[in-house]
Amino acid sequence: MLRTLTQYQRDSIVGKLDGLTEEEARRPLVPSGTTLLWLVKHLTLAELLWIGRRFAGHEVVLPDNTLDDDDTVDSVVAGYRTAWELVDSIADAAPLDQPCHDVGDLPMVDLRWVLTHLLEEIARHAGHADILRELIDGQIGR
């Protein structure tokens, strides 16, 4: 159930970029400067950090938490989809009660907690994406 809901939220946020120009995807419409394209790049970082590094202990390359000039809708979405493959393969191979490899100074948690945390994170940002897309062109819904 966690995996199905997570993929639904992933698809929802990526779908918010469909049909936008590069400029629209980068347009900050709120005081924080958050953009649709940045949200997807941020989620790529979050999933790789929590599953690849903290849970599995892999030395995965983490994207910057900022948009670079060479980031495009296609490249950021492709990077996120590639991260899904790694994250899903790691999560599929481990029991939900397996503890993380290293969470630094944070309290130790297991895979179930990490997957639930990521679902919450993705869903929260999908809600932000809904608002940003509506501000860009009035599109509402999933």
Three-class HEC string of 85-126: HHHHHHHHCCCCCCECCCCCCCCCCEHHHHHHHHHHHHHHHH
pLDDT at 139: 86
pLDDT at 123: 97
pLDDT per residue over 13-68, tens digit each? 999 999 999 999 999 999 999 999 999 999 999 999 999 999 999 999 999 999 99
**Mean pLDDT, residues 96-114:** 95
Averaged confidence pLDDT in the chain: 96
Q: Which fold has domain 2-137?
A: Four Helix Bundle (Hemerythrin (Met), subunit A) (1.20.120)
**Mean pLDDT, residues 72-90:** 98
**Mean pLDDT, residues 80-93:** 98
Q: Which residue type, as a one-letter code, is found at position 4?
A: T
Tokens of 86: 């790694």
pLDDT at 140: 84
Extents of the domains making up the chain: 2-137
- pTM here is 0.95
